[in-house]
């Protein structure tokens, strides 16, 4: 397992993003790698600007995820991985450390699924809404699109290759962000098209509170990526928070134990990002690679 930890920054806020966990990225050209780094950098800057100006962790994670959803390279929003039927079914979740949460699943019309998840949290008594229709989304003032907007030729080719068994389904690309703001509040957001070639209607861990996304003030905020079923069964994000709360386990050790027991032990592949209540940042994965961006205290680090 790979684990990177950064001590709390003097600035008093913290932000870390992921762009999915998956196989080796050696096969990516230098140009492609550069484009992922550009996308992560742009998204990090969008979130960091919010936090540095004293904004809320929730606004920061939404701003960062919006950028990654709009970037067709990542498996979220436009350019999301396609189902076996060639459709894009988008899942997203947001959670704030005070215990509020909202999520959407199989969303086909919100240009930015992360904002739809936020609306579920802020405008409805529900936590998880399936396939919100155009009327509801525009009633919330969200930008709407036709489902074809999300489908790119690159993803159609990827689906074809996976269906022809020319390619292992790559899991890179799901996106997430976690943040601690100057007010000491944490938040998490995750957004995905799911797994390439998944059956229509399959729901992964991303929109499941406690599985792929979780935040609790005074403890931690977490966003996960990888084989969703294992994250759901291991309730991975909540398991880490529970180790910290009930056992007093430090963040990195809690992450290490949960990844070992709930993922590696079940031969499941994935990774996660976390920010502790003190601003400590952890990036961890048992996959060969994971895309991530965070500050090491002096400069932005991007991992591909």
Active site residues: 174
Rounded to the nearest 5°, which phi and psi values hold at 224?
A: -115, 165
Nearer to ligand ASP, 111 or 172 (CB): 172
User: Across the chain, where does the E strand assignment appear?
Assistant: 2-6, 14-22, 90-96, 101-107, 128-130, 175-180, 186-192, 213-216, 220-226, 270-276, 281-285, 289-295, 300-303
How are strands ordered across the β-sheet holding 14-22?
128-130, 101-107, 90-96, 186-192, 175-180, 14-22, 289-295, 300-303
Least Cβ distance, residue 19 to ligand ASP (angstroms)? 10
Query: Which of 134, 70, 124 is CA-nearest to residue 102?
Result: 124
Q: How many helices (H) and strands (E) does the chain have?
A: 8, 13
Binding track over 55-94 against ligand ASP, x by CB under 6 A: ----------------------------------------
What's the CA angle centered on 120, arms 173 and 191, to 5 degrees? 5
Nearer to ligand ASP, 215 or 273 (CB): 273
CB 101 within 8 A of CB 190: no
Structure tokens at 193: 């098209």
Least Cβ distance, residue 231 to ligand ASP (angstroms)? 6
Least Cβ distance, residue 268 to ligand ASP (angstroms)? 10
- Among the listed ranges 55-63, 139-147, 191-199, 252-260, the one in contact with ligand ASP (CB under 6 A) is 191-199
Site for ligand ASP in 208-237 (CB under 6 A): 212, 225-226, 228
Tell which one of 144, 158, 206, 304 touches ligand ASP (CB under 6 A). 206
CA dihedral sign of residues 268, 2, 273, 214: positive
- Among the listed ranges 125-133, 145-153, 189-197, 240-248, the one in contact with ligand ASP (CB under 6 A) is 189-197
- Number of chain residues interacting with ligand ASP (CB under 6 A): 13
Least Cβ distance, residue 276 to ligand ASP (angstroms)? 22
DSSP structural state of residue 66:
H
- Among the listed ranges 3-11, 120-128, 152-160, 198-206, the one in contact with ligand ASP (CB under 6 A) is 198-206
Please enumerate, by residue number, every residue annotated as part of a binding site for substrate.
202-205, 225-228
Q: Which residues of this protein are in contact with ligand ASP, per CB under 6 A? A: 20, 171, 174, 192, 194-195, 204-206, 212, 225-226, 228
């Amino acid at each position: 397992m790979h684990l990177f930890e950064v001590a709390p920054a003097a600035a008093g806020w913290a932000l870390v993003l992921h762009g999915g966990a998956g196989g080796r990225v050696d096969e990516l050209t230098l140009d492609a790698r550069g484009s992922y780094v550009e996308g992560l950098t742009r998204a990090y800057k969008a979130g960091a600007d919010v936090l540095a100006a004293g904004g809320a962790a929730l606004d920061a994670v939404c701003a960062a995820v919006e950028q990654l959803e709009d970037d067709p390279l990542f498996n979220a929003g436009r350019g999301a991985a396609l189902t076996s039927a060639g459709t894009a079914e988008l899942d997203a979740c947001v959670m704030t450390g005070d215990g509020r949460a909202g999520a959407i699943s199989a969303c086909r019309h919100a240009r930015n699924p992360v904002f739809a998840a936020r609306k579920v949290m802020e405008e409805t008594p529900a936590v998880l809404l399936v396939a919100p229709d155009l009327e509801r989304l525009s009633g919330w003032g969200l930008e709407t699109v036709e489902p074809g907007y999300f489908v790119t030729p690159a993803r159609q080719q990827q689906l074809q290759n996976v269906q022809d068994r020319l390619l292992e389904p790559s899991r890179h690309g799901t996106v997430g962000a976690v943040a601690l703001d100057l007010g000491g509040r944490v938040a998490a957001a995750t957004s995905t098209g799911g797994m390439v070639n998944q059956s229509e209607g399959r729901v992964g861990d991303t929109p499941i509170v406690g599985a792929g996304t979780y935040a609790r003030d005074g403890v931690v905020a977490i966003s996960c990526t990888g084989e969703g079923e294992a994250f759901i069964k291991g309730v991975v994000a909540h398991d880490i928070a529970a180790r910290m709360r009930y056992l007093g386990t430090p963040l990195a050790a809690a992450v290490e134990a949960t990844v070992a027991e709930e993922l590696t032990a079940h031969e499941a592949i994935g990774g996660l990002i976390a920010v502790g209540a003190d601003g400590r940042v952890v990036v961890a994965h048992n996959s060969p690679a994971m895309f991530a961006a965070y500050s090491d205290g002096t400069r932005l680090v991007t991992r591909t």
